[in-house]
Amino acid sequence: MRRLLYQDESRLEYGRRFWRDPAKREQLLRHWLDERHPYSDRLRERWLPLVDRVLRSEPDDDDSLDMALQREGVSLRAVVKEIPPVFGTFFTATSLPREAHARDKSMTGVLGVRDGRPAGATAIVRRPAGDQLPAAPL
């Protein structure tokens, strides 16, 4: 049985969900291969075929996929760690129009665009001036 960290499990799970949709796969590829992405060279040079192979695979095949990858000198864990992150600072510039995301509301909050900004990006919440947090007791 394979062992992945929770962060890697979620990266694999959501990566697979996006990879199944050709429009979202194209969006991720455009973002990951953009010259502004810090991992784009690394992905192009070695990891893209392996990342594609892992994201296209079925979860039920993970153990056999891991064994096959190990025979090739890598592991499922190593390939999952090479799935690039999404950077909100320029994700919208490389993404599809917002209308393309309206089709799949269940995934919009994960890596899609919501309210004009990349979902999952940290937003600074500004409180109205009169809405103060209570003082902490000393």
Q: pTM of the prediction?
A: 0.64
**CB crowding 88-101: b at 16 or more within 10 Å, else e:** beebeebbeeeebb
Does the pLDDT of residue 117 top 90, yes or no? Answer: no
Least confident of 20-29, 80-89, 104-113, 123-132: 104-113
Q: Give 97's pLDDT tier (boundaries 50, 70, 90).
A: very low
